[in-house]
Amino acid sequence: MPRSDRLFDLIQILRDGRLHRAADLARELRVSERTIWRDMATLMASGLAVEGERGMGYILRQPMTLPPMILTPPEREALRTGLRLVSEGGDAVLARAARSLAEKISAVTPAPVEDPKDLFTQPARATQRAARHLPLIRQAIRDRVVLALTYLEADGAESHGDIRPLALRQQGQVLTLQADMVGRGPRSLRIDRILALAATGERF
């Protein structure tokens, strides 16, 4: 976990106003007590009202509040769609990150986003179909790997070919993959119409 994320998590834990022992914090965040000591020293030096010392524990003496984050209805829908898509993508690391982000946003967002779970309800069918392919596509774009594609065309016919994946794009409510079809040229592919995808091992 990056240190900035760990410091944020420590602040969230301390916001309950109770005394927390370094050993308990270390166990919860899966780090050493020495790391907790250093992190607490950093928080104290930053001006946060944390009191405590080694062997005694730490407590946040003054309540800490964050300004509310006001989201418009379209912004809430964009947030739901994006986090839902990532959470269902089969990438365990990003799925956990999406849910953690939903909880953090919910903590500083007034109603109607009261519950982080609200961000993951009623996924669109296109989102569900697209989500399973995203981990492989993201990896292939990063590593510049050619993919073998089976695709459902608009007329209902299946097509096959190799693609060089270049970028993901959101077009309205549809997620698309911008790619170079080997031997055929540029193509914009709807990810929810991808029937099968596999890495060939060939680099480009």
Average pLDDT for residues 189-203, to the nearest whole number? 94
As given in the structure block, the two tokens for residue 90 are 């089969």
How many C-alpha atoms does 147 have within 13 Å on its Cβ side?
Answer: 29
Residue 170 domain flag: yes
Give tens-digit pLDDT for 28-37: 999 999 999 9
Beta strand 145-152 with 194-203 is: antiparallel
Cα 13 vs. chain centroid, distance in angstroms?
Answer: 21
Q: The CATH number of the domain where 191 resides is what?
A: 2.30.30.100
In angstroms, the CA 94 to CA 130 distance is 15
pLDDT at 16: 83
Torsion of CA 30, 34, 38, 39, to 10 degrees: 20
Q: Amino acid identity, residue 149? A: L
Q: Do 13 and 77 sit in the same domain of this protein?
A: no
Residue 92 domain flag: yes
Q: Do 115 and 85 sit in the same domain of this protein?
A: yes
Q: How many domains does the chain have?
A: 3
**Under 8 Å between Cβ of 131 and 94:** no
Final residue of a structural domain among 81, 104, 123: 123
Q: Do 179 and 150 sit in the same domain of this protein?
A: yes
Give tens-digit pLDDT for 19-76: 999 999 999 999 999 999 999 999 888 888 889 888 889 998 876 665 666 677 777 7
E strand or H helix that includes residue 100: helix 92-107
As given in the structure block, the two tokens for residue 182 are 């080997």
Residue 96 domain flag: yes
144 CB contacts (<8 Å, ≥6 apart)?
164, 203, 204
Confidence label for 161 from pLDDT (cuts 50, 70 and 90): very high
Q: Do 92 and 118 sit in the same domain of this protein?
A: yes
Residue 162 domain flag: yes
Q: Do 35 and 14 sit in the same domain of this protein?
A: yes
Residue 66 domain flag: no
Exposed, middle or buried: residue 133 (CB in 10 Å: 0-12, 13-18, 19+)? buried
Give tens-digit pLDDT for 91-120: 677 778 888 888 777 766 655 444 555 555
Q: Do 45 and 83 sit in the same domain of this protein?
A: no
162 CB contacts (<8 Å, ≥6 apart)?
146, 147, 148, 149, 181, 182, 200, 202
Residue 133 domain flag: yes
Domain that holds residue 35: 3-60
Q: The CATH number of the domain where 10 resides is what?
A: 1.10.10.10
Q: Do 139 and 111 sit in the same domain of this protein?
A: no
Residue 67 domain flag: no
Average pLDDT in the chain: 82
Q: Check whether 171 has a pLDDT greater than 90.
A: no
